[in-house]
Amino acid sequence: MNERAPSPWRTALTAAAVLGFFAVLGSALVGVAYQGTAERIAQSEREALLRQLNAILARHEYDNDLLNDYLDVSAPKRLGAETTRVYRARRQGKPVALILSPVVAQGYSGAIDLIVGIRVDGTLAGVRVLSHKETPGLGDRIDERKSPWILGFSGKSLDEPPLSRWRVKRDGGDFDQFTGATITPRAVVAAVKEALLWYRAQGPKLFEVPPQVEKTRHE
């Protein structure tokens, strides 16, 4: 080795070749992994979404392909989000419920993303929190893992309780607030109420629109 020093060009080229070889090898590995998992990943994503939706509306209540029967609507004043996806559940062709994701409420420290299910008769199938930034231990009890409060929406509608009592108790309504935190539950209650009002305005005609092609505006 010592007697014959390789030329710098040769060294550099060998190094480049080695590096290139491993770059190709690494890319190949990633490519293979991607090929091997792509389908499974897509399936997992679908399953995860379905699990979310099924938490609101049980699997046996509908029989259509929920994931492919949706509309993207834009009603920021009512639903809080620029775009909300509306999944339409049907059973034997008849409308069963709509599931709205996301409905956005303005909490104590930022947006709270909700998923809201509304049956065709205007009662709530269920409400869940998708994500939030509320203070741990105070506002985060809207999360079903911290407290069952959010489950209390199921079965409620704009008539039961009446519209005037769609407030937290402190404001003279029917819904519990949490000790130490009023802003968060107040925001969630208001957002759910708005979603119900939106549904009342749009009504069952939402089921008639053909499955999603374009964004449509439904205020």
Partner 1 sequence: MSDIGYRKIIVDGLWHNNQALVALLGLCPLMAVTNSLVNGLGLGLATTAVLLLSNLSVSTIRHWVRPEVRLPVFVLIIASFVTAVELVMHAWFHELYKILGIFIPLIVTNCTIIGRAEAFASRNPVLASATDALAIGFGFTAVLTLLGASRELIGQGTLLSGAHLLFGEAARAWEVTVNPDYPGVLLAILPPGAFMGLGTLIALKNLIDRYFGQRGTETAPAPTPQPEQA
Partner 2 sequence: MEFPVASSPHLRGGNDIQRVMGQVLLALLPGVAALWWYFGWGVIINLGLAIFTAVFWEWVVMRLRGRDPRPVIGDLSGILTACLLAVALPPTLPWWQTMMGTAFAILVAKQLFGGLGYNPFNPAMAGYALLLISFPADMTRWLEPSVISGHSLGFTEAWNAIFSGIAPSSQGWDAVTGATPLDHMRTELSREHLISEIRQSPAWGDFGGRGWEWVANWFLLGGLFLIWRKIISWRIPVAMLAALALVAGIFWVIDPDIHPSPAFHLFSGAAIFGAFFIATDPVTASTTPRGQLIYGALIGVLVYIIRTWGGYPDAVAFSVLLMNMAAPTIDHYTQPRVFGERETQDE
Q: Which is nearer to partner 1, 22 or 165 (CB)?
A: 22
* Complex with partner 2: residue 169 or 200, whichever CB lies closer: 169
Contact residue for partner 2 among 75, 116, 183, 191 (CB under 8 A):
183
Partner touching 67 among partner 1, partner 2, none, CB below 5 to 8 Å by kind: none
70 interacts with partner 2 by CB under 8 A: no
CB neighbour list of residue 201: distance below 8 Å, 6 or more residues apart:
78
- Subset of 133-172 contacting partner 2 (CB under 8 A): 134-138, 169-170
- With CB under 8 A as the contact rule, the residue among 10, 22, 58, 180 that binds partner 1 is 22
b/e string for 110-138 if b means 16 or more Cβ within 10 A? ebbbbbbbbbbebbbbbbbbeebebeeeb
| φ, ψ at 11 (rounded to 5°) | -55, -50
Binding residue (CB under 8 A) for partner 1 from 4, 40, 60, 205: 40
What whole-number distance in Å separates Cα of residue 98 and Cα of residue 116?
8
Give dist(CA 7, CA 24) in Å, integer. Answer: 26
Extract the tokens encoding 174: 């029917």
Strand order in the sheet with 84-91: 70-73, 84-91, 94-107, 110-119, 124-131
**Cα–chain center distance at 60:** 21
Q: Tell which one of 10, 14, 201, 215 touches partner 1 (CB under 8 A).
A: 14
Please, what is the minimum distance in Å from the beta carbon of residue 168 to partner 2? 11
Residue 71 token pair: 């509309």
Rounded Cα distance, 131 and 35, in Å? 31
Judged by CB under 8 A, the residue of 52, 74, 109, 212 near partner 2 is: 109
The yes or no reply on residue 178 touching partner 2 (CB under 8 A) is yes
Which positions lie near partner 1, rule CB under 8 A? 11, 14-15, 18-19, 22-23, 25-27, 29-30, 33-34, 36-37, 40-41, 44-45, 47-48, 136-137
Which positions lie near partner 2, rule CB under 8 A? 106, 108-109, 134-138, 169-170, 178-183, 186
